[in-house]
Amino acid sequence: MAKPTPLQFRNLLVALVAAAGFVWSIVTGLPWWVSTIVGCACVLSLASAYLNRPGANG
């Protein structure tokens, strides 16, 4: 398995924080649109980490 690039590491870290924020927003009962935005941030960070993997030829 290839070593993650710094950009991938940052994206995975943001995805982890966004996932925690999503769970927190659900538990505390924030409006649905806040949870949706945080959930989208998590999905987009994971997608960016995947697309920026070593060996991805664009």
The H or E element that residue 47 is part of is helix 32-51
pTM, to two decimals = 0.84
- The pLDDT of residue 2 is 73
The H or E element that residue 15 is part of is helix 6-28
**Domain spans, the chain:** 7-51
The single-letter code of the amino acid at 20 is A
Q: What does the pLDDT profile of the chain (58 residues) look like in tens digits? A: 678 889 999 999 999 999 999 999 999 999 999 999 999 999 999 999 999 888 877 5
Q: Please give the Cα distance from 5 to 48 (Å, whole number).
A: 12
- The pLDDT of residue 54 is 84
Phi/psi at 23 (nearest 5 deg)? Answer: -60, -45
